[in-house]
Structure 1
Amino acid sequence: MKRKNNRKKAITLKDKKILIIGILLVGLLMIGVFITLMVQPPVNHFTIGNGKNLKGIDVSNHQGKIDWQALPHDKINYVFIKATEGTTYNDPFFKGNWQNASEYNFLKGAYHFFTVGTSGADQAKAFIAQVPKEKNVLTPVIDLELIGENREEIITEIRVFVNKIEEHYEVKPIFYINKNTFHTYVEGVFNDYMIWYADYADEPALDESIWTFWQYTESGLIEGIKGPVDFNIFRGNKQDLESIIIQ
């Protein structure tokens, strides 16, 4: 009887050792996978192509005071800067960011956050008052993120805003959109305008033939900026990018 009991104990200890070794191996495998993902992140479009898909950022008051001298030129080909929102809000960091972008030789452009339910003409007036008419800057941007109740009225106000901007700066503005605002306001209505598409999936839902810029994350980290910042790619090379600079 004693011998039989001892055999049971021996088998139990052996099984425990095998289980512990198995758990350790699985743990080591998971650590290896984690390290691999950290060192070699998933490939995005901006890593593909010979000189194509140029990277850039967009900034606003959310980034606070930026150390422009520390921003790396080899990682940033352009910067979009928030200027205004609605009819009354001027981004408090716009003037400083606008001046510093030029001082540190970054290609820059300004954008307006469009609010629904307010006058497109008044919003255009606010943007024009804040953003100087300059050469060698990127085309202005209308940022469409909000959905309102009356689609036709909102489209009318968007059209008024766009026409005012086009008349003043003598270029067609870029439409910044997400999936909802694209299908609600832009698709089939504003077909002759460049699209800057916000989509944080591994691949943008819109076909590449539709968008010119793709904002692929809102959680980017880069030298010179404390905290997260939006990262974008431009679908083209430097010569293509230069073609949308105001001359």
Structure 2
Amino acid sequence: MPVLRPGSLRSRRLRFAAFLFSVLSLTLPLTAPAASAADTPARGSAYMGMGVPAHDGRHGSPMAMNGLFSGFFTSLAVQQTEGVDVSSHQGTVAWPSLWSSGVRWAYVKATEGTYYRNPYFNAQYNGSYNVGMIRGAYHFATPDTTPGSTQANYFVDHGGTWQRDGKTLPGVLDIEWNPYGAACYGKTQSGMVSWIRSFLNQYKARTGRAAVIYTATSWWTQCTGNYGGFGSVNPLWIARYASTPGPLPAGWSFYTMWQYTSSGPIVGDHDKFNGALDRVQALARG
């Protein structure tokens, strides 16, 4: 094999190719491996943003991994308020440390389907409140198990209620990729829209509040046909692990909240409220 001279054309080309490969390996999103029965998680273990890294995020890139800077350029234009979302995966949460770091609001997973309640819910929900945060609860939807109205009732009965105390945010419908099977839970696009509407209508009937919808644009497009009928009533919580929220689903001209990273310094999932603290308080008051 001939020896490459450091300044030769071939040597320069090989070095350039190696450089390109290293750049692409840092910036390209990871693709999800083919699912198998052994990979399917246990029912109840789902959490907000579970499918984002593989589908709508840039997990592994320097921007996505550094939660402190991923929303920097957006925050220059609009004042935003830092938040977190937690589930049983976080267990006991260091709420005083989060408060000291600037986090002012939190959402806690309360329920999933009609078969699971977060065993840490009370401690997490009350712990965030006790340090001064405005907090709320979220429900991980499984549209293939029970009707939307049934899951809304289960959510309200197990932590997802609302009260006008200025410290309780409206409940969230977490509707995203199915960690247990087909992405759209075996539903047609119109069937998914009907399921979501059933949940939202029942939640509003039970609490008097319009629920927040947490989703990702790519999932919403695939599984609802990019339906635009909820944007005038239900606030949007967009999921995208990148430097910007990206395109929004149809019907929404702005997002209320943005989950921008799963790699925060204290708790993984960090979020930004699209406004100053007084806007978070306004949403809580209704």
Pairwise TM-score range, normalised by the shorter structure? 0.7 to 0.9
- Residue of structure 1 in register with 2:80 after alignment: 53
| Gap runs ≥5 in structure 2 | 1-6, 8-62, 178-183
Could you tell me how far apart the structure 2 residues matched to 1:52 and 1:205 are? Answer: 18
| Amino acid in the other structure paired with 1:238 | L
Could you tell me how far apart the structure 2 residues matched to 1:87 and 1:46 are? Answer: 40
Once the two structures are overlaid, the 10-residue window that deviates more, 205-214 or 83-92, is 205-214
Higher helix share: 1
How far apart are residue 74 of structure 1 and its match?
4.5
TM-score (norm 1): 0.75
Could you tell me how far apart the structure 1 residues matched to 2:154 and 2:84 are? Answer: 23
| Amino acid in the other structure paired with 1:133 | W
1:123-134 matched pairs, under 5 angstroms: 123-131=151-159, 132-134=161-163
Kindly, what percent of the aligned residue pairs are identical? Answer: 29
CA distance 1:60–1:43, change in 2 (3 Å): closer
Could you tell me how far apart the structure 2 residues matched to 1:90 and 1:179 are? Answer: 27
| 1:82–1:111 contact (8 Å) kept in structure 2 | yes
- Residue of structure 2 in register with 1:86 after alignment: 113
| Alignment match of 1:213 (pick from 257, 279, 285) | 257
- Residue of structure 1 in register with 2:147 after alignment: 119
| 1:51–1:238 contact (8 Å) kept in structure 2 | no
How far apart are residue 181 of structure 1 and its match?
2.9
Does 2:231 align with 1:191?
yes
| Alignment match of 1:144 (pick from 170, 175, 184) | 175
Could you tell me how far apart the structure 1 residues matched to 2:75 and 2:97 are? Answer: 26
| Alignment match of 2:206 (pick from 158, 168, 171) | 168
How far apart are residue 116 of structure 1 and its match?
1.9
Q: Which has the larger radius of gyration?
A: 1
| Amino acid in the other structure paired with 1:216 | Y
| Amino acid in the other structure paired with 2:94 | D
- RMSD (Å) for aligned C-alpha atoms: 2.7
CA distance 1:161–1:43, change in 2 (3 Å): closer
Residue-pair matches, total: 207
1:194-236 deviations in whole A, cap 9, x for unaligned?
11011012222225933111111111122xx5xxx21111111
